[in-house]
Amino acid sequence: MAKKTVADIDVKGKKVIMRCDFNVPLDADCNITSDDRIVKALPTIKTILDGGGSLILMSHLGRPKGQRNEKMSLAPVAKRLSELLGIDVALAPDCVGDETKAMAAALQDGQVLLLENLRFNPQETIKDKAAKEDAQLRQAKDEFAKQLADMADIYVDDAFGTAHRDNASMYTVAQMMGDKPKVAGFLIEKELKFLGETLKAPERPFVAILGGAKVSDKIGVIENLLDKVDAIVIGGAMAYTFFKAQGKQIGKSLCEDDFVDKATQLLGQAKEAGCEVVLPVDSVVAQEVKAGAANEVAGENIADGWLGLDIGPESSKLFADKLAGAKTVVWNGPMGVFEMAPFDEGTKAVALSVAEATKGGAKSIVGGGDSASAVKKLGLVEKISHISTGGGASLEFLEGKQFVCLEILDEK
């Protein structure tokens, strides 16, 4: 996907509407607890402002379900953006409507307007499939998107976190722009470069690490990677579905019984493709999911009444050995219940192993979500080649799914 970016267009004297991912975490008092997503949007924002354009920024925050909710207002984002840019960033009362339209029209070059939370309007999240089947939904989505599109001369998409969605702001607005420029921001460009190029022409050995609770969430990824990687390392609760498929005892560990046959099938497919599947050889087990719960290390079979909550120390060593010498590493999903000690050790160990592989010359990609949180918590951000800004989006990209909102952007 060789898409045009803001670096390829002239924005001088133009109004640019830009889809950002400002879905930042807030505390109970609506204070931003991490401005990482805002900071990462700054290169694209500054390029447009320095180029003489004016900016209309739009984003969602949380899940207000189509209703106004002041606890999910983008007001804290407008305040933080003002501080970071050193200019006043005005907040529109809504993302559409006469007052918002007037504020956008009055923007001068170098000025920034942030639209209020897109998801305060139910039209933002109407799925395109539903809109195609229901004329009223299609009309509602189109009219909403047209109001947004009509405010600007150029559309910029820099929200990879929602790139797998066909929300109005991600897809329909671009459609409504017609022949006007529709380009990617630098965040999207970076994601396409790392994820796209890695899957297309990886340097080998190529090792993928997959974790998380459910096999069902990762089936598409495993199937798409089987003929692309040299090894797939599997941790997290999803490993117990594979254990059951192999006839091992898993106690009361989480298992998707409906997917045991599929796990067996995937192991067979991997063998045919010449892809090594590496499963844990031990687990940290407890009788309850509770921070500080009494625990012990079990081998590949887990006794009744116990459940696996993390990979064990031998598995951590095994996984580290598999990463040693790798030239490409992709990691998506934790190795255990990493939110609570002592069941966070396996995820920590993998994070450190990925950083070590990177130090040894590997290109490493961490696929957002819980994996990214673990890397940040351990202070390893600078030791990873790329941390994706989209958990769900990076997962679907690894599945090989097509992103209509990216396809619609202008080709170089």
pLDDT digits (tens, 9 = 90+) for 264-309: 999 999 999 999 999 999 999 999 999 999 999 999 999 999 999 9
For the stretch 89-141, pLDDT in tens is 999 999 999 999 999 999 999 999 999 999 999 999 999 889 899 999 999 99
pLDDT attached to residue 156: 98
From 3.40.50.720, 3.30.70.890, 3.30.413.10, 3.40.50.1260, which CATH number describes the 194-398 domain? 3.40.50.1260
From the number of C-beta atoms within 10 Å of its C-beta (0-12, 13-18, 19+), residue 234 rates as buried
Task: Identify the H or E element spanning 206.
Answer: strand 206-210
For the stretch 129-160, pLDDT in tens is 898 999 999 999 999 999 999 999 999 999 99
- DSSP state at residue 192: I
For the stretch 231-248, pLDDT in tens is 999 999 999 999 999 999
**To the nearest whole percent, how much of the chain has pLDDT over 70?**
100
**Catalytic annotation present for 68:** no
pLDDT attached to residue 10: 97
pLDDT classification of 374: cutoffs 50, 70, 90: confident
> Does residue 368 carry a pLDDT above 90?
no
Q: Where are the domains of the chain?
A: 6-187, 194-398
Selected catalytic residue, list 4, 138, 180, 214:
214
pLDDT attached to residue 197: 82
pLDDT classification of 2: cutoffs 50, 70, 90: confident
pLDDT classification of 195: cutoffs 50, 70, 90: confident
Give the pTM: 0.87
* 3-class SS of residue 67: coil
Selected catalytic residue, list 15, 37, 141, 363:
37
> Does residue 1 carry a pLDDT above 70?
no
pLDDT attached to residue 328: 95
Which architecture characterizes domain 6-187 according to CATH? 3-Layer(aba) Sandwich (3.40)
pLDDT attached to residue 201: 86
pLDDT classification of 393: cutoffs 50, 70, 90: confident
- If you average pLDDT over residues 23-49, what whole number do you get? 95
From the number of C-beta atoms within 10 Å of its C-beta (0-12, 13-18, 19+), residue 99 rates as exposed
Six token digits for residue 250: 């898993």
**Catalytic annotation present for 251:** no
> Does residue 169 carry a pLDDT above 90?
yes
Strand partners, 278: 233
pLDDT classification of 200: cutoffs 50, 70, 90: confident
Asked whether this chain's domains 6-187 and 194-398 adopt the same fold, the reply is: yes
User: What are all long-range contacts of 9-13, with beta carbons under 8 Å and residues at least 24 apart?
Assistant: 9/154, 9/181, 9/183, 10/51, 11/48, 11/51, 11/52, 11/53, 11/154, 12/51, 12/52, 12/53, 12/109, 13/52, 13/53, 13/109
Q: Which of 173-177, 211-215, 317-321, 355-359 has the lowest mean pLDDT?
A: 211-215
**Catalytic annotation present for 392:** yes
**Which ranges in 206-252 belong to alpha helices (H)?**
219-225, 238-245
pLDDT attached to residue 390: 80
Selected catalytic residue, list 53, 236, 312, 369:
369
- If you average pLDDT over residues 364-386, what whole number do you get? 89
- If you average pLDDT over residues 190-207, what whole number do you get? 89
Instruction: Say if residues 103 and 116 touch (Cβ distance below 8 Å).
Output: no
Q: Is 346 left (phi over 0), alpha (psi -120 to 50) or beta?
A: alpha
**Catalytic annotation present for 200:** no
Selected catalytic residue, list 110, 196, 220, 392:
392
